[in-house]
């Protein structure tokens, strides 16, 4: 884990872009793989994201640049990317902080379903950004590359199962029984891969910004719906229809989605176990492990 960065070091980072004095610095201490500082200046607020792996800084900057070039989706502005490790011991991004509430918090206060409709529209616009191959995005490239969606899904799951305890036989059986759901002919598109309420910031009426694209991949659009299904619509059932109405204004969903959603849920729990293991968060790891076992019993 990265040691807390001194105020003087943070001043050096900011001074390269903004000479104005720093009013306050807030460290986000928990719940993040990377180290994050909120920095308030007189006329703006910034975020300093310090990454545990250098390629992630390049990736996030690359994804935001690609989104800005190909859409009107509101995203943070990147002011500085440095992976030289001369100022900080790790690669970092200095970016604008988007003001707004998480979309579920705004909905609780204003009961405006249009917010979820707009969130659906934004995700569909994101999926219009295409790639030539399926795969992880490392730095500014898809790597490794896969011509077939099924090959990438199996590669990703196999890689993550190496690091976790799970019923690998049952998982393999389920994948084989449902492999027809992975025969995708769509061109690979940009997936946020972490699209849920915490990363959709709003005011009373509009989406102010989409954040945290660290997990973005080149994949199949329907896979990007799973976190909203599990983390938003199970809690706020009344907004699911609005979200999909917005999504279908700009995108499409196949008739196989209800079946495919179950397969993507399996993949989701494997991902969550892997992440909670990386974070060394035992309570979250236990929850995700139980959720995977429950899924395999009721599949």
pLDDT in tens, 261-293: 999 999 999 999 999 988 888 999 999 999 999
The CATH homologous superfamily of the domain defined by 101-298:
Aminoglycoside phosphotransferase (APH), C-terminal lobe (3.90.1200.10)
Mean pLDDT comparison of 29-38, 79-88, 156-165, highest-scoring range:
79-88
- Mean pLDDT across the stretch 226-238? 97
pLDDT in tens, 137-192: 999 999 999 999 999 999 999 999 987 888 899 999 999 999 999 999 999 999 99
What's phi and psi for 231, nearest 5 deg?
Answer: -105, -15
CATH fold of 7-96, please?
A: Phosphorylase Kinase; domain 1 (3.30.200)
pLDDT of residue 1: 57
pLDDT of residue 31: 55
What is the C-alpha separation between 89 and 84, in angstroms, rounded? 9
How far CA 72 is from CA of 260, 267, 271, 273, in Å, comes to: 29, 30, 30, 34
Please check whether the two domains, 7-96 and 101-298, share a CATH topology: no
Total-model pTM? 0.96
- Mean pLDDT across the stretch 101-114? 98
Domain ranges of the chain: 7-96, 101-298
CB-facing half-sphere around the CA of 85: CA atoms within 13 A: 7
Take residue 102 and report the two structure tokens written for it: 């998480």
């Amino acid at each position: 884990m990265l040691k807390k960065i001194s105020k003087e070091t943070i001043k050096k980072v900011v001074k390269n872009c903004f000479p104005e004095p720093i009013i306050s610095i807030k460290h986000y201490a928990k719940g993040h793989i990377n180290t994050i500082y909120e920095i308030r200046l007189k006329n703006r607020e910034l975020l300093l994201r310090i990454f545990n792996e250098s390629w992630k800084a390049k990736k996030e900057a690359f994804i935001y640049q690609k989104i800005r070039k190909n859409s009107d989706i509101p995203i943070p502005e990147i002011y500085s990317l440095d992976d030289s490790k001369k100022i900080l011991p790790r690669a970092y991004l200095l970016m604008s902080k988007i003001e707004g509430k998480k979309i579920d918090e705004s909905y609780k206060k204003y009961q405006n379903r249009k917010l979820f409709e707009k969130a659906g529209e934004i995700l569909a616009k994101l999926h219009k950004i295409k790639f030539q191959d399926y795969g992880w995005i490392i730095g500014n490239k898809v790597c490794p590359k896969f011509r077939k969606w099924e090959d990438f899904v199996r590669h990703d799951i196999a890689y993550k199962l190496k690091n976790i305890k799970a019923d690998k036989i049952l998982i393999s059986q389920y994948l084989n029984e449902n492999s027809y759901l992975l025969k995708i002919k769509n061109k690979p598109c940009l997936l946020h891969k972490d699209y849920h309420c915490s990363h959709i910031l709003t005011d009373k009426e509009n989406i102010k910004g989409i954040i945290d694209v660290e997990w973005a991949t080149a994949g199949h659009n329907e896979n990007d719906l799973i976190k909203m299904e599990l983390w938003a619509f199970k809690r706020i059932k009344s907004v699911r229809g609005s979200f999909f109405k917005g999504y279908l204004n700009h995108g499409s969903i196949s008739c196989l989605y209800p079946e495919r959603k179950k397969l993507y849920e399996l993949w989701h729990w494997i991902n969550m176990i892997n992440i909670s293991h990386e974070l060394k968060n035992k309570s979250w790891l236990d929850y995700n492990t139980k959720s995977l076992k429950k899924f395999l019993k009721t599949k």
